[in-house]
Amino acid sequence: TGSSDPYCIVKIDDEAIIRTATVWKTLSPFWGEEYQVHLQPTFHSVSIYVMDEDALSRDDVIGKVCITRDMLAEHPKGYSGWVSLSEVDPDEEVQGEIHLRVGVLGSQGSRRLLRCTVLEAR
């Protein structure tokens, strides 16, 4: 039909912690959802999987974006820009990108605050 039914799953170190709502019949989804998650100081990565919901079979993985500790260290003042989706299955072609804004905010006690905003997707 030329469109998808996208939703996202957010994983911290391969543990799924968030599932967004599905946005039906679009290639340019907008969720408008906000979550607060406590990251352990030893976390390695936050991954955002973009999925295509399918009522008749298993949901398809469109692609993913991974934010690593190393990426945060390379951009201590934050990062804003388009990030291409990477493949999850090497046999599948991946198209699409996510406009991210990532920043480490001030500290709350001994914890640092990470804000990751998905501005748009295409």
By three-state DSSP, how is residue 97 classified? strand
Q: Is the pLDDT of residue 97 over 70?
A: yes
| Per-residue 3-state assignment (H helix, E strand, C coil) for 7-29 | EEEEEECCEEEEECCCCCCECCC
pLDDT, one tens digit per residue, over 110-119 is 677 788 888 8
> What integer best gives the mean pLDDT of the chain?
88
pLDDT of residue 104: 78
Name every residue whose Cβ is closer than 8 Å to that of residue 43 and which is 6 or more positions away in sequence: 12, 13, 69
40's tokens = 């352990």
Name every residue whose Cβ is closer than 8 Å to that of residue 79 and which is 6 or more positions away in sequence: 71, 100, 101, 102, 103
3-state SS of the chain: helix, strand, coil percent to 5?
Answer: 5, 50, 45
Residue 39 main-chain phi, psi, to 5 deg:
-90, 135
Amino acid identity for residue 102 in this structure = V
Q: Is the pLDDT of residue 29 over 70?
A: yes
Q: Is the pLDDT of residue 10 over 90?
A: yes
pLDDT of residue 107: 67
pLDDT of residue 66: 94
Which numeric CATH code is attached to 6-121? 2.60.40.150
pLDDT, one tens digit per residue, over 38-84 is 788 888 999 999 999 998 999 999 999 999 989 888 988 889 999 99
Q: Is 40 exposed, middle or buried (0-12, 13-18, 19+ CB in 10 A)?
A: exposed
Which pTM does this prediction carry? 0.85
